[in-house]
Amino acid sequence: MKLKTWLLALFFCFLFNSSALYANIKVGTVFFYPPFVMSTGDGFDIDLMRAICQRIKETCDIVPMDYTNLFTSLNEGKIDLAIAGISISQNRGTKYLFSLPYMLSKGQFLTLKSYDFTSINDLTGKKVGVIKGEQDGGVVDAYLIQNYGNQFQTIPYNDIEDLITSLSDGDVAAAFIHRSSANYWKQNGGGQFALLGGSVSLGQGIGIMALPSQADLIARINQQLQAMEKDGSYLNLYNIYFTNE
C-alpha cells in the first residue's frame, strides 16, 4: 500500500514538473512604442524576441499591456520576461536581471517644426514631456537634472501615445525620448515634428528584463544575442527598422 501511494505521488510529481518544463514563456510588452513595438505582432522588439525564442526552441506568448502594468506583472510572476525598449540602469539594483544590451540607449529631443527652435536653450522655461521613469530606470531624469537643472519643467506621461499627442497639441514644447522613437515620429508624423539637438547616451543600453530567478533563461538568451550578432541575423533585423540611424 505504501509503495502504491509512493508511486502515485511520484507520478503526479513528474506530471507537474513536465507541465512546468514545457510551459510557454510569457513575454510582456507594451501595446505601442514604435519602432520597438508597432503592434502585438510587429516591431523590432517583437521580431527580435520571436527570433530568440525560435533559437532557444521555446514557445513564447507575447502579452501586451500598459507600461504601468509591465513591471507589476513581472514582479508578480504573471510574465517571465519584459521587452519594450527598456533601459538597463544601476538604479534597478538587484531587483531585476537584464540580458546583454541589444541596442544603445540614446535620448533625443523632439519638437514641433512650427516652433522653429534652433537650440535646446530655446526650451528654457517651457515644458518638456518624458515617459515615466520605470521604463528608463531613472536615467532620463538623471540626465536632464545633471545637464539642465531647472532650465525647463519635465512632465511625465504613461506612454508614448499620450506624450506625442500632447506635443502635437502644444501642451509641451518638446519631448525627450529614445532616439529611435524620435526618428520614427519625425518620419511618420505627417511632417510636423523635428529633432532638436543631437542624440545623447543614456544608461547602459537596452535589454530584456527578468527577475533574478530567471538567470538560466537570460543566459540562454544572451547566447543567442551573441550568435545573432555573429551570424549577421541581428544586423539584418536592425536594418529593417533603423535604416536611417
Q: What is the pLDDT at residue 136?
A: 66
Q: Which tens digit of pLDDT belongs to each residue from 197-227?
A: 999 998 889 999 999 999 999 999 999 999 9
Collapse the DSSP code of 39 into the 3-class scheme (helix H, G, I; strand E, B; otherwise coil) and give the result.
Answer: strand
Is the per-residue pLDDT at 76 higher than 90? yes
Identify any residues that bridge with 124 across adjacent strands, giving them in sequence order. Answer: none
DSSP state of 10: H
Contact present, 159 and 66 (Cβ < 8 Å): yes
Which CATH number does the domain 106-201 belong to among 3.40.50.620, 3.40.190.10, 1.10.150.20, 3.30.230.10? 3.40.190.10
Tell me if the pTM is above 0.95.
no
List the one residue out of 79, 82, 84, 74 whose CA is nearest residue 23: 79
Contact present, 53 and 60 (Cβ < 8 Å): yes
The reply to whether domains 23-103+205-241 and 106-201 share a CATH topology is yes
**Percent of the chain scoring above 70 in pLDDT:** 87
Mean pLDDT, the chain, rounded, equals 89
Which CATH number does the domain 23-103+205-241 belong to among 3.40.190.10, 3.40.50.300, 1.10.3720.10, 3.40.50.12280? 3.40.190.10
Q: What is the mean pLDDT of residues 162-187?
A: 97
Q: What is the pLDDT at residue 40?
A: 66
Q: What is the mean pLDDT of residues 146-163?
A: 94
Q: Pick 48 or 244 by higher pLDDT.
A: 48
- Lowest average pLDDT, out of 61-75, 124-138, 161-175, goes to 124-138
Residue 120 CB contacts under 8 Å (≥ 6 apart), including other chains: 109, 148, 196, 197
Domain locations in the chain? Answer: 23-103+205-241, 106-201
Q: Which tens digit of pLDDT belongs to each residue from 86-143?
A: 988 777 767 899 999 999 999 999 999 999 999 999 999 999 999 986 666 678 888 9
Is the per-residue pLDDT at 245 higher than 80? no
CA dist., res. 171 & res. 167, Å (int) = 6
